[in-house]
Structure 1
Amino acid sequence: MRKAEIPAIRKQQLIEATFSVIEVRGIQQTTINHVAKTAGLSVGIVSHYFGDKNGLMRAVMQKVLSDLKHAINLKMQQNKDNSARGCIVSIIEGNFDTTQVNRAAMKVWLNFWASSLYSDELSQLQKINDHRLYSNLTWYLKKLLPSEKARIVAKGLAAIIDGLWLRGSLSQKDEFNKAEAIYIAIEYLDLQLAKYQDHLVKK
């Protein structure tokens, strides 16, 4: 192993350990000591790479957000339908990707949302993520609908994506049914597009 590779590997170890600890304890009860012990590393190593708990939490959320962005980009590449609707479907599928709906990631997201109410740094990350989803949906919807209608549908679709995810994450009994969630979100999209087409026909 090259010496230059060690920091990246250590950081990844600590981020993965943090996921594990949060899944069991939640963000509020997670400490640097717990993370260090789970990773099999010293507390000093955690402080060296992340400074404090806030720095560690920020890194964990940046990892989750990076996974989300990567999932959407991958869906875009895999989707042969390059139409505006096809791109919106890729965004929907990316938001329900396995990296976002596994139990560990869902626990992190739930804790992140709750903690963002009391942390300026986490709140900023949340705002960036919300804006990214809304602006991306609006961008493609404007290719299919008038601007004002596109913005309204984008808000509705973003709310449906978040709502389906939240209901699924709070269900302790069943695994998240991502196929069903994707179906519901796409059905809403198609209903809105069809309503607009019907409106044009009736004009």
Structure 2
Amino acid sequence: MPKIGMEPIRRKALTDAAIEAIGARGSMDVTMSDIAGRAGVSPALAHHYFGSKEQLITASVRALLRDLRRDTVEALKTARSHRARVSAVIAVSFSDKQFSEDVVAAWLAFYVDAQRAPEIRRLLSVYARRLHSNLMSGLAPLCGQYEAERIAEGAAAMIDGLYIRKALGTGPARHDAVALVEDHIETQLLEIRGRTV
């Protein structure tokens, strides 16, 4: 007989294990047995909760997005200025949790899988829109919509690029990644201020 209240705990254990397994392998070439073993449950129970590996992978991407959204909302609550909002979004993108090796490698594998999996592609589009919107919430009041769009696009591309470099083992440390994106933003804002003086 199943224990009452165990389903959410086991589901989370399975999505965490999927991210860990995919991150360790660097690809989607993992089985439900691999994931279930890491989660400490049977493959049959993993299939019971998620039906298929594809459904578990989709749930894992959703879990990453929920964590990222929650962390971003929390960080934005303490931002005291528009510029601080931008810094909060960048800091969360490179937090110890988000920029860990397993999570970064899993994100890269999800991007590759998105080429054949429409639901993963859709979820990654949600991520991109949220990142853009969060950056814009701080940038637009500082420099106007047009310039903010351009700066936000560059910052998002840098964040994604630094994730790729981290997955390949050639990226900078977390604090250096933050500094690179911050430098891009600050340079762009200074240039705009210089043109308007």
Question: What TM-score do you get using the length of structure 2 for normalisation?
Answer: 0.91
The Cα offsets for residues 66-96 of structure 1, whole Å up to 9 and x where unpaired, read as 22122223322444xx111000000000100
Residue of 179, 186, 193 corresponding to 2:182: 186
Contact 2:19 2:103 (C-alpha < 8 Å) held by counterparts? yes
Which amino acid in 1 is paired with 2:107?
W
Q: How does 1:147-166 map to 2 (within 5 A)?
A: 147-166=145-164
Which amino acid in 1 is paired with 2:65?
L
Which amino acid in 2 is paired with 1:66?
R
Residue of 96, 104, 107 corresponding to 2:105: 107
C-alpha distance 13-86 of structure 1, shift in aligned 2 (>3 A): same
Figure out how many residues of one structure are paired with residues of the other and give that number. Answer: 196
Contact 2:20 2:103 (C-alpha < 8 Å) held by counterparts? no
Contact 1:84 1:143 (C-alpha < 8 Å) held by counterparts? yes
Q: Distance in 1 between matches of 2:71 and 2:56?
A: 23
Structure 1 residue 3 displacement after superposition: 4.1
Q: Distance in 2 between matches of 1:40 and 1:142?
A: 47
Residue of 94, 97, 105 corresponding to 1:96: 94
Structure 1 residue 131 displacement after superposition: 1.0
Say what the alpha-carbon RMSD is for the aligned residues.
1.9
Q: Which residue of 1 aligns with 2:142?
A: 144
Q: Which residue of 1 aligns with 2:83?
A: 85
Q: Distance in 2 between matches of 1:96 and 1:38?
A: 25
The Cα offsets for residues 100-120 of structure 1, whole Å up to 9 and x where unpaired, read as 111111121111111111100
Unmatched 5+ residue regions in structure 1? none
Q: Distance in 1 between matches of 2:68 and 2:74?
A: 10
Residue of 177, 196, 201 corresponding to 2:192: 196
Unmatched 5+ residue regions in structure 2? none
The Cα offsets for residues 164-184 of structure 1, whole Å up to 9 and x where unpaired, read as 222122116x8x511111111
Residue of 126, 129, 152 corresponding to 2:127: 129
Q: Which residue of 2 aligns with 1:18?
A: 18
The Cα offsets for residues 27-48 of structure 1, whole Å up to 9 and x where unpaired, read as 4321112222333322221111
Q: Which residue of 1 aligns with 2:6?
A: 6
